[in-house]
Amino acid sequence: MKYMLLMQFSAAGTDFPSIDTWTQDEVRAHIAFMGEVNDKLTAAGEWVDGQGLGGPQQARIVRAGEGGTPVVTEGPFAETKEFLAGFWIVDCESPQRAVEVAAHISTAPGPGGRPLNMPIEVHPVMSAPPAEL
């Protein structure tokens, strides 16, 4: 079963500064950890895809306007306290394994090497609508 793991960043409830204030060594350690996660998932045959995402100032919200014309709301979103920082799609044998992977990702190092304990959402990837529909 495939699962999407979503790394959320929330300014509320965190006790670490934003990544743009970290030292170069702290950023490198964080990125190296993510590379190691990806390598281990690949070696285990669980890797499908994963990417870091640009910050909220680079994000766009798109809605269909009249006649389907795109209506785009551009950042920065000053009021944004939470944003999606990255994602993984993993193919795991059980929901418990997907949760284990998410917990490990949550330990990514931050300032001073301390684990960030960022929330990681775990969503099953649906291949079809439920049979009862």
pTM of this structure? 0.84
Q: Is residue 46 part of a domain?
A: yes
Q: What is the pLDDT of residues 64-104, one digit of tens each?
A: 999 999 999 876 555 656 778 899 999 999 999 999 999 99
| pLDDT at residue number 17 | 79
pLDDT band at 22 (very low <50, low <70, confident <90, very high): very high
Cα angle 124, 52, 49 (rounded to 5 degrees) comes to 45
What would you measure as the largest C-alpha separation in the chain, in angstroms? Answer: 52
Mean pLDDT of 13-38: 89
Q: Is residue 101 part of a domain?
A: yes
Q: Write out the residue range of the structural domain in which residue 77 sits.
A: 2-124
Q: Is residue 81 part of a domain?
A: yes
Question: From CA 112, how far away is CA 48, in angstroms rounded?
Answer: 31
Q: Domain of 62: which CATH number?
A: 3.30.70.1060
| pLDDT at residue number 79 | 60
- The total of structural domains in the chain comes to 1
Q: Is residue 132 part of a domain?
A: no
Q: Is residue 63 part of a domain?
A: yes
| pLDDT at residue number 11 | 64
Q: Is residue 54 part of a domain?
A: yes
Mean pLDDT of 7-29: 83
Cα–Cα distances (Å) from 78 to 12, 81, 120, in that order, read 14, 8, 23
| pLDDT at residue number 9 | 77
